[in-house]
Structure 1
Amino acid sequence: MTVSKTAVLVLDSTDPETLASFYAALLDATVEPNGDDRELLLISGTTGIVLGIHHDSGHAPPSWPRPDDSQQSHVWIVVAPDALDEAEREAISLGARPLTAEQNGTRTDRRTDVRRYMDPAGHTFMLAPARGLAR
């Protein structure tokens, strides 16, 4: 019998409560501590999204992109295609910072309509349209 399991992307932060609040508001989700572990906050929503925010007092924001190595991780937040502009306004109002083409390391390509940002702690994330999602 296979043991039931799930995967959780965990982001490090010197201020996990603030970062967890950012993602909870952006994803219309809730924040809960991981049981008695106050170092890890779990964000979950009605769509089953789970994201972890871990306290790391020595955390330094990622340097992305760096020419000498590849991006390590980032979060894709998928939305209905017709809600992309609204999702972008919401993310920015919550403290997201759009990445410029130079910071992206790529030319802007609106054919894909993937929009790239940094969260308040400097992690990169994308807003991307998902054809199967309804508004």
Structure 2
Amino acid sequence: MPLAKLGYVVLDCPDPLALATFYAAVIGGTAKDEGGGWATLEGHGGTPLAFQAAPGHVPPQWPAAEHSQQFHLDLHLPQAEMDAAEKEVLALGATVLEAGRDRDFRVYADPAGHPFCLCAC
């Protein structure tokens, strides 16, 4: 029997509401400012996400064994939608992390520098 259940996956960042808004545009849902340097993403139907203000936030580096990547998100979508999704995430402020991308997944950083992948399913 588990001791607890997952509440949120929390991403540290300089601007919680801005990052919640970015992910709302990417995976759906609504960004909500909870106050006190905390924002959540509601109604997207996946794992609950929250965003916490972290003064002095230093983004992870991808891929770099000497620096922690901390974690990354895998976002699944149909293969046929990969090119259109890439255009959208870049327009929303993501940056490409791997120039030699694989056909089945592509690696980006969100506006706060957290890595995420678009993965064909």
**Could you tell me the TM-score, scaled by structure 1's length?**
0.75
Contact residue 77 and residue 128 of structure 1 kept, 8 A: yes
Larger Rg: 1
User: What residue ranges of structure 2 are gaps of 5+ in the alignment?
Assistant: none
Question: Which residue identity is paired with 1:40?
Answer: W
C-alpha distance in structure 2 between counterparts of 1:109 and 1:31, whole Å: 31
| Residues 39-54 of structure 1 mapped to structure 2, 5 A cutoff | 39-54=37-52
Contact residue 94 and residue 110 of structure 2 kept, 8 A: yes
- What is the aligned-residue identity percentage? 40
Question: Which residue identity is paired with 1:12?
Answer: D
Contact residue 27 and residue 45 of structure 1 kept, 8 A: no
Contact residue 27 and residue 44 of structure 2 kept, 8 A: no
- Given candidates 107, 118, 123, the residue that maps to 2:109 is 118
Cα offsets for 1:72-113 (capped at 9, x unmatched)? 200111112222222111111101111134xxxxx6432xx1
Residue 97 of structure 2 corresponds to 99
* 4+ residue runs over 4 A deviation: 1-4
**Could you tell me the TM-score, scaled by structure 2's length?**
0.82
The answer to whether residue 109 in structure 2 is matched with residue 109 in structure 1 is no
The answer to whether residue 57 in structure 2 is matched with residue 59 in structure 1 is yes
Question: Which residue identity is paired with 1:109?
Answer: D
Q: Which moved more, 1:14-23 or 1:61-70?
A: 61-70
- Offset of residue 2 of structure 1: 6.9
User: What residue ranges of structure 1 are gaps of 5+ in the alignment?
Assistant: 102-106, 131-135
- Residue 11 of structure 1: SS of its match in structure 2? strand
Cα offsets for 1:43-89 (capped at 9, x unmatched)? 13343342111111121111232233553200111112222222111
Q: How many residues align?
A: 121
